[in-house]
A and B are shown apart, each in its own frame.
Chain A
Amino acid sequence: MSNNYLDIIRPGINTTFQDKGRDHLYHIGIPFSGAMDNRNYLIVNKLVNNNLDSAVIEFAYQGPHIKYSGEKINFAVTGDVIFSIKKKDTEIEGNCYESYQIENGDEINIISTNKSVYGYLALGGEFDLKFQWNSCSINTKANIGSNDGKKLDVGQRINLKKINSNKDIKKTNYINTKIENIRVIKGTNFDYFSEEGKKIFYEKEFTVSKLSDRMGMRLEGPKIDNIVNTNIKSEGLIKGVIQVPADGNPIIMLSDHGTIGGYPKIGVVASVDYDRLVQMSPGSKIKFKEINLSDAETLFKLYEMETQNLLSQI
């Protein structure tokens, strides 16, 4: 039995454990999963002196309210998140991108994400979680991963099997930038769509629908007309693929996506913009901008360098 643990007073809407995800399983139908916003996942681990691939708590919109019991431990929150820390008689507002030390009886209350979707909570140590295929990431559709593949629930107790001895407090200045355009690479079925449809795709605005989750982001807007076939023979998908089913409304595949699909692919979101794409909340406006493969590769390299730079400064 562990002496260091969290009690979930309120779980939040969609709170799961996530890490780097699991690979080499698409062929049996299991998606990658893992933290949706990879950069914020890496930063939150660095802020509490964890290994960068440690499990963290990911939440969407409303986050969890937890009570901590045990010896002193650090925690940090990343994303654009409103939260408070309750210690004995005081309650203070917390800042993202800053680590805090808490002790026995303290509470963390993550009220909500602000004009974004996902936030991350890391504790300086290691949660005691079940690994499945080298990852504890929870996939709630297939019930795979830690916590029996289910969201965190009220009244649950989560044990820590280790607390980091390095309890240095860390801070970084990072601002989640919003982008107006999501850059995309032409999809393999781009020519299935009418000239008008292609124009709409690159020129018009789409709105993120409420029917969006870790599996996919549905968009609403002007219909994209298909002139060849609204079905293709089912084939593999990857995250970021934009499929357009018969109703003409695009769906973007996200980290828990079905591994194969039979709708034509009009485009694929460039890797450089994935972290920012997933943070677009329902009602947000999206415009797509075409880039070529070599620009996409260069932009990702720069993005990755920037991430490494950020991490090295923490």
Chain B
Amino acid sequence: MIKNISNLGDAALYCDFGNEVNKSINSQVIKYFKTIKEKKFEGINNLTPSYNKLIISYDLKKTNFKELKNYVENINPENSIDITSKKLEIPVCCHENFSMDIKRLEEILKLSKEKILENFLNKEYFCYMTGFIAGMPFLGDLDENMRAQRLETPRVKVPKGSVALTEQFANIYTFESPGGWNIVGNTPLDVFDSSKEDKPNLINPGDTVVFKEITLDQYKNYNEQ
């Protein structure tokens, strides 16, 4: 449930569901997100669900904080939609051509490359949210012994398709972008496709993702099959 609603500036509601990051809090956020989105309240511009917050931004010409806060407080997400989610397999190639930060991770985590990949692959991850750049999924949770901080100096260009780790999360760079996560591999799949206007994201909040390793040859041939 929403613990507190405050204002983020003069044109957004900041709905706080707590400070912990876990599936049950995140599922609450997604439930509220889907319920409010469905109701198409006049004046709401955008809804941004994240681990444990929901930001609702609005057109100040059409509504205001007080009115919208009152509206959100009276919403009962329990009586509305169920969360339907998909289970997806994402092919990832961890060949040294792609796994740019594996050495760094070996040092930080004090684990061998084989052990790191064994821990990472073939395990179910939950999609908490998408964003930062279009379609980027934030997936969790990595095991305790797999958690490393961001690079001290972020890369100016992270290649499209990079699969990367930070703290308890994994993500996928949907297109070339700056970024500071630890890169362990690359997927040949298009995770974001702007030509599909109604469904541009392959992975959506609430979905389950499993990374399956492929060889460099499989990677190269992937899009020709």
- Partner of B134 from A29, A32, A271 at Cβ < 8 Å: A29
Chain B: CB-nearest residue to A25: B46
Given A142-B134, A258-B132, A238-B11 contact (CB < 8 Å): yes
A261 located at the interface, meaning its Cβ lies under 8 Å from any Cβ of chain B in the complex: yes
Given A24-B46, A143-B175, A234-B51, A30-B134 contact (CB < 8 Å): yes
List chain B residues, Cβ under 8 A from A92. Answer: none
- B-side interface residues toward A, CB under 8 Å? 6-12, 14, 19, 21, 33, 37, 45-55, 57, 60-61, 64-65, 129-136, 138, 174-175, 177, 192, 194, 197, 200-201, 204-205
List chain B residues, Cβ under 8 A from A28. Answer: 130-131, 134-135, 200-201, 204
Contact B135 A23 (CB under 8 A): no
Contact B9 A238 (CB under 8 A): yes
Docked pose: A234 CA to B9 CA in angstroms: 18
List chain A residues, Cβ under 8 A from B64. Answer: 297
Contact A143 B14 (CB under 8 A): no
Chain A: CB-nearest residue to B33: A27
Interface size on A, residues (CB 8 A): 41
- 6 pairs across A/B with beta carbons < 8 Å? A27-B48, A144-B134, A236-B50, A236-B131, A238-B55, A271-B10
Give the interface centre of A133, A241, A259, A268 by most chain B CB atoms within 10 Å.
Answer: A259
Docked pose: A258 CA to B201 CA in angstroms: 16
- Partner of B131 from A233, A238, A241, A260 at Cβ < 8 Å: A260
The smallest C-beta distance from B81 to any residue of chain A, in angstroms, reads: 15
List chain B residues, Cβ under 8 A from A265. Answer: 8
Docked pose: A91 CA to B50 CA in angstroms: 55
The smallest C-beta distance from A188 to any residue of chain B, in angstroms, reads: 6
Contact A142 B133 (CB under 8 A): yes
**Beta-carbon contacts under 8 Å, A145-203 to B:** 149, 185, 187-188
Docked pose: A142 CA to B132 CA in angstroms: 11
Given A26-B48, A27-B131, A238-B55, A185-B197 contact (CB < 8 Å): no
Contact A143 B46 (CB under 8 A): no
Give the interface centre of A27, A132, A235, A269 by most chain B CB atoms within 10 Å.
Answer: A27
Chain A: CB-nearest residue to B19: A233
Contact A235 B134 (CB under 8 A): no
